[in-house]
Amino acid sequence: MEGSKINSKLTLEYMCNERENQFFDRKSAKKDIKDLANHIAGFANASGGTLVIGIADDGKIEGFEECESKYNKFLKVTSNDYLKTIPIYENETIEVTNYKGHKDKILLIHIRPSVNTIIRNAKDEVYLRQGDSTIKLSNDQIKALELDRHEIYFEEQININSSVNDIDKEMVEIYKNSIGADEQDLLDVLRARRFLVTDNLTGRECLTNAGVLLFAKDPSVFFPSARIRVIKFEGTEMQTGANLNIVKDKTFALPLYKQIIESQKFVDTQLREFNHLGKNGTFVTVPEYPKFAWEEGITNAITHRNYAISGEHTKVFIYDDRMEILSPGDLPNIITIDNIREKRYARNPIISRTLTELGLVKELNEGVSRIYREMSEFFLEDPIYEEEKGLSLKLILKNNVVMRSKRVNENLLKDVKINEKWFELNVMEQKIMQMIFDKGEVKTAEIAEFVNRDRKTVQRILKKLCDNNLVEWIGTSNRDPRKIYKIKE
């Protein structure tokens, strides 16, 4: 069945050039209809999305000219011939000029996330959208997905305590601008996206729970835990009583978009800077943590927390040696601590997609993976994810402050021996020297991963650095797999 309008206008340029992601995919009309039905099911079982038919994976506009007979079949791709359960969707046909210069058309299928229902194909298989791919789920993963359906239902529920008077008009204007709906009435925009609906019992217009969290002036009036608290401590542990060591403490109870923006601005004012060896042997000032890492951590904590549970709010703790970001609720569906870098699942698909439209989720396919990469490039330890008794997810970012503070006045090039030879080294050798200096002690495998070279190449470079008395190794023998390298004293 077709639902109400759920899409913002997608430009042809976007559809041809945008990277395929959690909410968007394009396929040639030559593709098998059964395969495309699986993609539609995958979107419905995840966060919803748009499937464009008639544009190839490489962005070429093929249209339906070479397979006109398939157009009407694609209009029925969500029928029981291909899917056992039918998602809520909307078809949209757009007139285009194809790559041959001929008038043609493409078909857009806008799919809403399913509520309380798993969408299965005709073979009773279940697919789920994961970043830019659609994957088939195992039986255990299907069971986990079934348990998560109630959380999506939470987003769609009407909040009967809300009304149009609770709406943050400025927030709606920001949203209208982001989806190209500046000329539309703000209430009509919320109605079209089903953030504002009529309660059948009272006849009043109310916000849905997702609407409250995204567009109410103060969502914590309705959900007391829908806020984020940022606390900065003096030292490396939280103290209480007479030894209370809180330096800064600020709470943000705003629409989720503003929560993210304002809390990130505040955190930025509380972080320090350090000297770091840059290119050409010169030192530059770098922040305590890579900006993307902690900003993405905060964005994810607010976007994907479990708002259906009460009693706990999102928190950011800033210590001298680390930052901890706590998000209430356990990991959803197919996500585990072990696969969090590769897998993607939105607990709150409506909220997630809206914040993506607002420009906050920039790395749809590799947000968590990029946190790891950025921490490595800053010569910092990998981020740590911990589940706390199934009640919350904690992200820990360590800043290596002790080593960095010490080396503000003890930089690499103050060593006369290194200084004399530094500019004789090539870029790769300098990069490895820099990594060993910043981390103190490293293994061959760590260096190989960081510089993206094979172990033999790295071993050859390390041997040269050792021969030049710049680096030394520590281990039981030259073949010791646990051997480490450090700057030679």
Average pLDDT over residues 429-454: 83
User: What percent of the chain is modeled with pLDDT above 90?
Assistant: 40
pLDDT tens digits, residue range 298-326? 999 999 888 877 778 999 999 988 999 99
> First CA to last CA across the chain, in angstroms?
73
**How confident is the model at residue 67, as a pLDDT?**
85
| pLDDT beyond 70 at 148 | no
Contacts of 282 (CB under 8 A, 6+ apart): none
Lowest average pLDDT, out of 15-24, 81-90, 154-163, 407-416, goes to 407-416
Average pLDDT over residues 332-356: 77
Q: Does pTM surpass 0.85?
A: no
Contacts of 232 (CB under 8 A, 6+ apart): 246, 247, 248, 249, 270, 318
Lowest average pLDDT, out of 116-130, 337-351, 474-488, goes to 337-351
Residue appearing with tokens 């809180």: 246
Domains of the chain in sequence order: 12-137 (3.30.950.30), 228-403 (3.30.565.60), 411-487 (1.10.10.10)
